[in-house]
Amino acid sequence: MEPVTATRIACLGECMLELVERSDGSLSRGFGGDTLNTAVYMARLGLAVDYVTALGDDSFSDEMIQAWRREGIGTGTVLRVRDTLPGLYLIQTDANGERRFSYWRDDAPVRRLFNLPETTQIETALEGYDLVYLSGITLSLFGEAGRSRLFEVVERVHGRGGRVVFDSNFRPRGWPDRTAARAAYDRMLACSDIVLASVEDFALLDGCVGVADVVARLEDAGVAECVVKLIPPGCLIVAEGREVLVQAEPVAAVVDTTAAGDSFAAAYVAARCAGASAVEAARRGHRLAAAVVRHRGAIIPRSAMPENLLIPEVL
């Protein structure tokens, strides 16, 4: 399995205001979104990453951009839409750390990202990246016309030898129906170099009943490198005709599973870009995810980041 070569990375999607409900009913405010969470952790791991999205012209959007810059994320590809506000979501967790989300996002400016006067600038910028990272949630943000423009861009990136990495995150409520979702996933998988998938996502999308079904689905689509996340903790790497199981150490005290998959993806991609094998990259993804689930919210403190995730001599 050849390592991924990438120097400039674009993460594409939506960032929302995040409210986290504490055990006493009080709320804390932050920000998050699946691909934004991944971008933050990529930047912390030393990758040159830009975030591609649209925000409003409000103070919350200003605050987000300032926070992303402090994290080292490039913001030159963030469009601002007048008289709009970013979406918002609330996280509630049960006694086992499992989370429940409530959303207010139907009018979020990112939904217009591929239908603005500046859209052609975004398309041109995306074509220049070495690696483009997006998710199933990203696909659900846009209507048919917007997705078509997005697909044309990522197909050009893939066609010229750039890398496209896709996280299967499937949320049924984001789609008008499963027929539209399946068509979008079919086209996305066909131009993806690496897919991070879960049985849960494809069970909801396609009715896949197990890991073998998901692997067959991805291989039939021509995906060269598949990472299928498993329960109990672990993943199956499928590439070059081989399957390798990479188990994760159990986490005794799970506080909040928010961004576990997003952080895994960041460490996986970062390790592959540094020259690690897919197996070693998965081990590092598990390490970061294990740290993330020990904290509340999507983004953990910098002080809680595991050390030595990217040691050159180890990779």
Beta strand segments in the chain, E: 9-12, 16-21, 27-32, 49-55, 78-80, 88-93, 99-104, 131-135, 163-167, 194-198, 225-230, 234-239, 242-247
- The phi-psi region of residue 107 (left if phi > 0; otherwise alpha if psi is between -120 and 50; otherwise beta) is alpha
- Tell me the pTM: 0.93
Of residues 85, 34, 5, 56, the one with CA closest to residue 260: 34
Query: What is the pLDDT tens value at each position of the chain, 315 positions in all?
Result: 556 666 899 999 999 998 888 888 899 888 889 999 999 999 999 999 999 999 999 999 999 999 999 999 999 999 999 999 999 989 887 877 677 888 999 999 999 999 999 999 999 999 999 999 999 999 999 999 999 999 999 999 999 999 999 999 999 999 999 999 999 999 999 999 999 999 999 999 999 989 999 999 999 999 999 999 998 889 999 998 899 999 998 898 888 888 999 999 999 999 999 999 999 999 999 999 999 999 987 889 999 999 878 645 444
List Cα–Cα distances, 141 to 14, 102, 138, in angstroms. 8, 16, 6
Task: Judge whether 277 and 255 are in contact, CB under 8 Å.
Answer: no
Q: Which sequence positions are flagged as catalytic?
A: 262
Ordered by start, the domain boundaries in the chain are 9-14+34-79+110-304
Spatial separation of the C-alpha atoms in residues 97 and 107, rounded to whole Å:
30
Assigned token pair, 230: 């498993």
Spatial separation of the C-alpha atoms in residues 132 and 154, rounded to whole Å:
7
Largest CA distance in the chain: 53
Q: What order of strands is seen across the sheet that includes strand 88-93?
A: 27-32, 16-21, 88-93, 99-104
What CATH number should be reported for the domain whose range is 9-14+34-79+110-304? Answer: 3.40.1190.20
Give the torsion sign (CA, 46, 49, 54, 57): positive
